[in-house]
Amino acid sequence: MNVNLKLMHSFLLVAEHSSFREAAERANRSLPAVSMQIKQLEAQLGVTLFHRTTRKVDLTREGEQLLIRVRKSLAEIESGLLEIKSAAGIESGQINFACVPTVASTRLPAILAAFHKAHPAVSLSLRELAGKDLLEAVRRRDVDFGLCPRMEKMSGFSFHPILEENYFALAPASVKTARKGRITVAELVQQPLLELAANSALRDHVDRVLKAHSPERETRFEMMQATTLVAMAEAGMGVALLPAIAIPATTILKPLLIVEPKISREIGIISIKAHSLSPAAARLTSFIERMLPGKP
């Protein structure tokens, strides 16, 4: 049976006001039009919905049963429409996204705190993933979008760059270089190096340059987290290679800008190409774009 909401609305008005005339006035329709709609609904259902007299209109038993169900159904429809409207207005909704660890542990907390303050009813779900795992999560649509560096093999994705940053070597004070505050790649490959794991986008950026200068070079230690990398360097186990965003505010290590050549990366929003984000997710990406380049 095809459900006609106009017929249901007219039925509800007649039932609530016990009058065809008042129902017609409320609906801004003619009395014959409302009467015809009720007859059409009764014909579809095969039952009489109203006892009609010259003085009043009363519901039949079947009409009372229908009234209960129509009120419940219309209330659910109205609730659903309000939810959709609320989500479209970014008043509520669910956002699932992923972020690489070097950003998740530094700039992201302040961004999410600001977003939650502005939109407290929006539910956030964050997955902290290495670059290649993040790409796969976006590809499978396990998340709405990702916050990560630009990587190779990104066909099928849309990448919106937000921030470009240089890589640094965090070295003990005992490491001497030709220029203060800088270390050349040629000088760098002479040091025991500490890097993030091979599945990270950060590792891809650095390895391409280092291997061009030292094809036989081997990484001494590999870590999953930047904090572990820094701790190992502070313990004298080697030189930690990190992007600017991941350099801790306080450390006994000296940050040396990698030069000749400089090594840099772009951080941005990645999503499925030609796939629109929800209004809430789009608003979060606006927060990220505005706040990510600043200091934490």
**Model pLDDT for residues 4-21, shown as the tens digit of each residue:** 888 888 999 999 888 999
* pTM of the shown model: 0.65
Q: Do the domains at 5-88 and 93-162+267-291 have one common CATH topology?
A: no
164-265 folds as: D-Maltodextrin-Binding Protein; domain 2 (3.40.190)
**Domain 5-88 in this protein, CATH class:** mainly alpha
pLDDT of 296 strictly over 50: no
Q: List pLDDT tens digits, range 165-211.
A: 999 999 998 899 999 999 999 999 888 888 877 666 667 677 778 87
Instruction: Give the β-pairing of 157-171 and 264-272.
Output: antiparallel
**Domain 93-162+267-291 in this protein, CATH class:** alpha beta
157: which residues sit within 8 A by CB, 6+ positions away?
135, 138, 139, 270, 271, 272, 273
